[in-house]
Amino acid sequence: MLKAVIFDLDGTLTDCDLGMAKRRVCDQLVACGAGHEETVRRMEEIHYRFNVEGVYDRNQWWEEFDIDLTSSQKQHLTDLYWDSVTSTTFIKPYAESLLASLKSQVKLVLLTDYDGESHSKKRRINSLPLLHYFDLIVVAGEDTEQCKPSPEPYSFVLKKLNFPPATVLMVGDKPQVDLEGARALGLPTLLVEGEYGQYNPHVSSLEEAHQYIETLLTSPCGL
């Protein structure tokens, strides 16, 4: 029997204009003397690779560019990046309906990774009008030592809920980060398709995720 659903946040329940964040940082790097084409190319490569590898601290990202930056310049770029993300973040269509519908049936958990040492994720998500739906909010890397896909954040959630793994569904948009670690611990998992590759089971929208979860809730055999 399904007792809880854990949702990832960025790219799963919310989205934002990452293109603008990347562009604004690239413009600054070019203004500091970096080559335009190489900077744009490297930004795309780093953005994908570090997201998949779970390297969250943007100050570390900027070290990958062929330009020497002081600590304060790196922090300035990091602030610019996250300000762009925060100002363009929106709640995906249907996310609130989904959470409102599930709230009376299961425990709801938000499990999101931190933004690295140089930025507070808690501050970034604080104003989101979604948080009241959740019974538990965990920022991995701040509330736990390790980020996803380490088993630690999932174990932390299971311990707080006191539910067996098989009764807790993990929903996310990154197979490597959100789902594989959860599956290794015995949690059922579901990919909401995004930019980070294939996985089974998967759905292409939150509406479809709702149908999938309802099937689990009404299945006579449970999970």
Query: In terms of CB distance, is 39 or 51 closer to Mg ion?
Result: 51
Query: In terms of CB distance, is 77 or 173 closer to Mg ion?
Result: 173
Q: Which residues bind Mg ion (CB under 5 A)?
A: 8, 10-11, 173
Q: Which residues contact 107 (CB under 8 A, 6 or more apart)?
A: 3, 4, 5, 135, 136, 161, 163
Q: Which residues contact 23 (CB under 8 A, 6 or more apart)?
A: none
HEC-encoded secondary structure of 86-136: HHHCEECCCHHHHHHHHHCCCEEEEEEECCCCCCCHHHHHCCCCCHHHCCE
Helices (H) and strands (E) in the chain, counts: 9, 8
Q: Minimum CB separation from Mg ion for residue 128, in Å?
A: 14
**36's tokens:** 């335009």
Q: Minimum CB separation from Mg ion for residue 196, in Å?
A: 8
Query: In terms of CB distance, is 69 or 147 closer to Mg ion?
Result: 147
Q: Minimum CB separation from Mg ion for residue 171, in Å?
A: 10
- For 80, other C-beta atoms within 10 Å of its C-beta total 16
Q: Minimum CB separation from Mg ion for residue 105, in Å?
A: 23
Query: In terms of CB distance, is 29 or 182 closer to Mg ion?
Result: 182
Query: In terms of CB distance, is 73 or 120 closer to Mg ion?
Result: 120
Q: Minimum CB separation from Mg ion for residue 168, in Å?
A: 18
Environment class of 81 (CB within 10 Å of its CB; exposed 0-12, middle 13-18, buried 19+): buried
Phi, psi of 6 (to 5 degrees): -100, 130
Q: Minimum CB separation from Mg ion for residue 149, in Å?
A: 12
Determine the Cα–Cα distance for residues 146 and 166; give it in Å rounded to an integer.
Answer: 22
Query: In terms of CB distance, is 51 or 78 closer to Mg ion?
Result: 51
